[in-house]
Structures are given as structure tokens and as C-alpha cells.
Structure 1
Amino acid sequence: MNTSIIENNGVKTYQGDTFSITMTRYSDPQRLNLARNAARYLGKKDIENTRRPLGIVRQGHVPEIFRGEIVEFEFNDVSKEVYDHLVTYTTRNMRVAGGNRALTSDSYTLPSDKVKDPEMVKTWVENSMEGYRCLLDHAETPQVARAAMPIAAKLNTFVFQFNFLTLGQAVFKQRIWEKGAQGNTVKVVQGMWELVHSVDPDLWNTFYEWFGTPATEWTEVRRKLKKKEITVKEMFEKLQHEYFLNEEDTLNMTFEDYMKFQFGQVKSMW
């Protein structure tokens, strides 16, 4: 188990550097409900075959059965920036947030992305927080004061509930398995991944294999092969050249890994 995960009375909490996430519900930890629904979907009688849901992901069947299972997360000390990124997933099941209508933010999180001048960034974020607090101190309502609140401000505890399919196909894919997500969001979503992976590593490793970085790299391989219009003859000559040079690092790769090494490097769109 990841050392950042603390378990208390069966409830798991991921402790990040400036935040924490508690997994308050995980609907199918033994994968039994998924197994039953997978059997019904494929017309099978062995409804307790917990490997079948993994096969549905691997074989590219319609993964609708995963939409019926949910994970509920409680987020603590997470910034408005990250909240905004999570709330974009419209197929999430539930959102519970006190927000800044009646509650106020008392602290902030600095960006985790590449920063040229950390001290200047910190100064201006603190100035923004000071303006926000000034409005509160002068008897403005939280609704009014939040207009001056920086996006780096930490929100009060909020809860999101996501179904398995949204997590595997969208949240994890876009925020940690593909390049380009903002740093604080990556850290928080990585915590979500660690929590679900600690319950059912086989399931979430399968989602990673078929929706994550390996799948993204293979899509990039196809894109580059189509763009460059590489022929079989050209590929054969390239392999012959590496064979005669005795390039052991590449010759001992699986062909899938070799193709991803040659053509699968993915860059951030940002």
C-alpha cells in the first residue's frame, strides 16, 4: 500500500503535501456486482467470475457496467483551481460543497508547475488573499468578498462522487495519464488514483493499460505512421540497420515497446 494512505476504521485517507483526500465510499471492492453485471451483459451463467469485468475493458466491449459503480471522495484543503478542474466532469454522480457563499477560505496553495520567481508568485498570491480578507473584515458578505479571492485559495471540505467509468476514461486519463494537466490537479488526482488502486489494483491497472499512457502512446504510434506513410520496406530496412549495428537495447524489446519507443513519444498540447 502507498505510504501516503492512512486507514482508520476501514476508511482510507490519502495525505498529500498540502491537502488530504478521504475515500468515504467504494461501491464494489470485491468486484462481485461488476462480475454479475458482466455475466448478464455477455449472457453467461457464472455470475461470480470477477475476472470477466477486466476482460470487458481489455477486449473493448461496451464498458457500461462500470457506470453503475461509484467512488466518493472527500477533499480537504484543496484549492479552487483543482475544484474547477474536477467539477468539469459532468458525468460525476454527486457534488457536495459548502463553497464560499457562507464559508470563507483561510489559506492558499502555491502552484506546483514550473515557477520562474517563487517569491514574487508567493507575494502576489498573498496580496490577493489580503484583499479578500480585507473585504471580509469590512463586513462584506462572503458572497461579495469571494470576488477578490484568488484561485489558489483553499476551499472548505467538499465531496465529489464519480462512477468507475468516468474515473477510468476521463478523470485519470486526462489529469494524470496524459501530459499537460496543471501541477496541483495532477497531485490531487494522483491521490484519488492511489486510493482506488489500493482497493482493487487489478481493475485499475487494467484501466491504465487500456485507457492510460500505454494506450495514448499506441495512438501516437498510429498517428505518426499515418503521417509519415512508412512502408513495410522502409521499416524492414530500419530494423536491418539496427540489427547490423547490434543495438541490443532495441533488439531485445518487445515489438510493441519498440514501436512506442520509436513513434510513441507524446508531448503536451500546452
Structure 2
Amino acid sequence: MFDLDRDAILHHERLKFLDDVVPIREHLDNIEKFIRICYEEQGWHVAQSRRVIALRATDKERLSSAFKASLYLGKYRDMANTTRFLHNMVAAGHSYEPIRGESILFLFIGVGKTVYDHLVTYTVGRPTRIAGGQRANVPWGFELPVEAKNPDEYKEELDRIRNVIRLAKEDRAEQMQAARAKLPVGYIMPPFLMEFSEEALIKTVFRQRLFEKGAQGATVDIATDMLNACLQIDEEKWNFLIDYHGPHLQQWEKAMRTLRKEHYTVADLALKLGIPIDEVMQANLYDLLMESVGKLPPSMWEKQR
């Protein structure tokens, strides 16, 4: 039976919830109950990674993509071959059509508006977005930025959010759609849903928000949770996809561009790393390239730290 990990949400070090004005625990109890009824009891594998819950992955047991990959390749005798797409198509750089129509539905709880904005920019491969009617629903609190150096400086943001709720819901002096203009950028969204095709996840969302350097810290946290939830559902598939699209590809591309431009020899790499030439000749060539010419510069966020 699915049990919502409340501690991962309510006790997150950067989240400040407004329990005094929003019945958050009651909301979580109801969400847990209906995840069981609407998804788990219908046979879906529900997986939670901290603030992200994968409710439904359409490629159950990888059989749908197996059937489609078999049709694509004209292999009719073994259409339930669940490794064919990975080993015969991904590894060969062929079409990702078998998983383009397969999607994963994510529920986000305790996530700030900034992260929502970063994810909602993806429209291709995102068939579903349910954000709970932001004109009427109240925020749940405030999410401190990962990069915040002085957390105490953000205490007043909670009071700003309380005042918005009071203005719109208690005093009814303003409609929520007007009062929300007073909200700080980092307010915690009510729970929201986003669904992505598996192709969009591995080629775009995870690449831009996780594998490549430069994404904002809070967004990296949530993208990591999304990927971990995918791994819980099908570890073999997602590890295989990561191997072909993961963070090492950026290093490899930099290494190839540098070698082409600088015309380095093995001796040059040894000098660059400060390693005796004899040791370099016995070293793993891939690791040698990644540690020298493939080393990436720090991102903007890393420089600021």
C-alpha cells in the first residue's frame, strides 16, 4: 500500500509551511488516500522521491515500447522483447518513436513557483499540466533558494504570504487573482501535476535541468527527484538512457572539440595533469581525456557560491 513520505516534504530544510492558515496535513492525508484509489488500486506503480511522486508510467513492464519497437524493426515473432528498443534502437541512434508516446505523470508537492516556471517552459512532449487554478488556490508557504546565504533575511516573506491569504480569503478585500500579485517569487505552489513523454524527459528536461551545468539549484533538486522516481519504476531502462544521454556527454563533446583545436599529444595530457608519462601510457584513455580536456568550467551558480 502506498504511503506518502510526509517527512520528506514537511521537514525539508528549505521549506517554510504556513500550517497555521492552510490545513496542509489534512490535504496530504486526502492526497495519499486518493493516490491509492485512483492509481495504485488500478495497477499503476506509484513511486515517490522526496517531493515528487510518479503516479503513472504508461509503458508498463516496458511492453508497450517493446511492441512498437518490434513493429518498427519488422520483428513479429518476439514482439514482447523488452530489450529490443534499448539495444537495437537507442544504442544504434535510431528513432525514439517507441517511447515518444509513452509518458510519466508526476505530482509535485511542496515545490516553489520558480521551479514550476522552469518546468512549465517545456511544452513539446508535455501533454498534461494541472496547476490547481492559481487565481483561486492559496500558496502553502515559502521555499528558500538553494543559493541563499542568509536564510533569516527571508523570514518576512512568510508574513507577506500570510497577508495575501488574509486579504483574499479572510477579509475578502481583494480577489485572489489580484492579491497574488503581492506574493514573493518563491512561494510554495499548491500540489501540481505535469506529464512528460519519456523521450522529452531524457532528451530535454533531464539534459537541460540536470545533466548540463547551469540550472538553478532548486530546479536541479526537483529534476533529480523526477529522475529517481523514474529509476524506481524501471531502473534498467533509465540507466541505459542515462548512459546515452547523461552528464558525461557534455564532457566528451568538450574533449573532442579541444583535441581537434589544440592537437594535443599524450605527452601534452600528461603534462597538463602533472602525471609522469609512464603512468599516462598505462592509464585508462577515456578517464584520462575526461579528467583533462573534458573537464568543464564551473557554472554561474557554482561561481556564485
Cα-to-partner distance string for 1:108-136 (whole Å, 9 max, x where unaligned): 111112x232211x234335424533532
Alignment-derived partner of residue 207 in structure 1: 241
Matched, 1:143 2:168: no
Residue 52 of structure 1 is aligned with which of 77, 84, 104?
A: 84
Residue 285 of structure 2 is aligned with which of 245, 255, 270?
A: 255
Matched, 1:83 2:116: yes
Which runs of 5 or more structure 1 residues have no equivalent in the other structure? none
Alignment-derived partner of residue 206 in structure 2: 172
Deviation at 1:166, TM superposition (A): 0.6
What SS does structure 1 have at the residue aligned with 2:158? helix
Cα-to-partner distance string for 1:7-28 (whole Å, 9 max, x where unaligned): 9756534253xxx222111111
What SS does structure 2 have at the residue aligned with 1:108? strand
Residue 126 of structure 1 is aligned with which of 143, 154, 158?
A: 158
Change (3 A) 1:255 1:25: same
Aligned Cα RMSD in Å? 2.7
Matched, 1:245 2:276: yes
Identity %: 31
Query: What is the TM-score when the length of structure 1 is the normalising length?
Result: 0.84
User: What aligned pairs does 1:1-270 form with structure 2 within 5 A after superposition?
Assistant: 9=40, 11-16=45-50, 20-45=51-76, 46-55=78-87, 56-91=89-124, 92-113=126-147, 115-120=148-153, 122-133=154-165, 135-136=167-168, 137-139=170-172, 140-226=174-260, 229-231=261-263, 234-238=264-268, 245=276, 248=279, 250-268=280-298, 270=300
Alpha-carbon contact 2:49-2:229 (below 8 Å) kept? no
Q: How many pairs were matched up?
A: 257
Question: Equivalents in 1 of 2:117, 2:269: separation in Å?
Answer: 47
Change (3 A) 1:132 1:253: farther
Which runs of 5 or more structure 2 residues have no equivalent in the other structure? 9-31, 301-305
Deviation at 1:147, TM superposition (A): 0.6
Judge which range, 73-82 or 251-260, deviates more: 251-260
Question: Equivalents in 1 of 2:200, 2:255: separation in Å?
Answer: 25
